[in-house]
Amino acid sequence: MKDFKGKKIAITRPIERSEEAVQIIKEKGGEVLVAPTLELRITNTQPLKDLCKKAGELDWLIFTSPTAILSLFKHCNDLKDRLNPDCKIAVIGPRTGKNLDEYSLKPDIIPDDYTAEGLLELFNDINVKNKLIGLPRTLAARDVLPKGLKDRGAHVLMVEAYKSDLPNDRTMVEKLVEEIINREVDAVTFTSTLTASNLFKMVNGEDKEKLLEPLRNGEVLVGAIGPVTASALEKYDIPTIIPDEYTVKAMLNRLMEKME
């Protein structure tokens, strides 16, 4: 299949991150159901303020999401001037890196594998022993990256830049669940482990089993942006379609290939 004509695709990522997927699906003739199972809330914590004060001491600053960039610069708008001139910047992928353009900064390293594991692998060839690394992020994220950096001898300042919570308004999630159960949606996409696990946290009992059936038997296809996200679905014995490149565009293209 070369387009989504006659197909309905669900997006579960936060609304502010859904624009790219919505555009691609509509351009390919599909109908979109945006049902965020994850809500991002920027925080202003004391550790975040402390990171801003220590910017001049940092050897590395690592961003694993656009929201982390937005939050840090919102609460430290003169960060560029505060940063140690020799501080290097790492980002988890090119889209996150592109968000730095707004602040006249460029990433020094971007992994080919847009995951925490892929980013960590780059540090196999970079000496970070006794280096001070700033890592603003959500505390709900996996500990692969901070643990790996600490194992390599780095001093990691991991601070909460935003919260990743269940959505307050669950109207669209309820609609998504109903449409999956009734086979009214053709595919559902997940771009993080939290978007996947949160969906099943919000459904209980008999409805959960009804929800799982069409996902497990392939009546409703499931796209995962990468193997890490897929692992959260495999816990429920849900088969997933994973692209070779871990991007939204590649995931949607792979879904089109699998559709009849």
Question: Which pLDDT belongs to residue 45?
Answer: 87
Q: What is the dihedral of CA 73, 74, 78, 84, to 10 degrees?
A: -30
Residue 55: per-residue pLDDT: 96
Q: Which two tokens stand for residue 78?
A: 């003169």
Give the tens place of pLDDT for each residue, 124-140.
999 999 999 999 999 98
Structural domain including 101 reads 41-164
> Would 2 be classed as within a structural domain?
no
The answer to whether residue 3 is domain-embedded is no
DSSP 44-101: --HHHHHHHHTGGG-SEEEESSHHHHHHHHHH-TTHHHHS-TT-EEEESSHHHHHGGG
Instruction: Give percent of the chain with pLDDT exceeding 90.
Output: 90
Kindly report, residue by residue over 68-95, the tens digit of the pLDDT.
999 999 989 899 999 999 999 999 999 8
* pLDDT score for 43: 87
CA distance 228 to 20: 21
pTM as predicted: 0.82
Q: Are 102 and 172 contained in the same domain?
A: no
- Quick one: 153 and 126 in the same domain? yes
In a domain, 92, yes or no: yes
Distance CA 218, CA 239 (A): 8
Domain shared by 154 and 45, yes or no: yes
231 close to 193: Cβ distance less than 8 angstroms: yes
> What is the reported pLDDT for 16?
87
Predicted local distance difference test score (pLDDT) of residue 1: 72
Provide mean pLDDT across the span 145-156: 97
Q: What CATH number does residue 68 fall under?
A: 3.40.50.10090
Reported as a single tens digit per residue, the pLDDT across 189-248 is 999 999 999 999 999 889 999 999 999 999 999 999 999 999 999 999 999 999 999 999
- On whether both 22 and 75 belong to a single domain, the answer is no
Q: Tell me: pLDDT of 260 over 80.
A: no
Give a yes or no: residue 222 inside a domain: yes
Same domain, 127 and 45: yes
pLDDT tens-digit profile of 27-46?
999 999 999 999 999 888 89
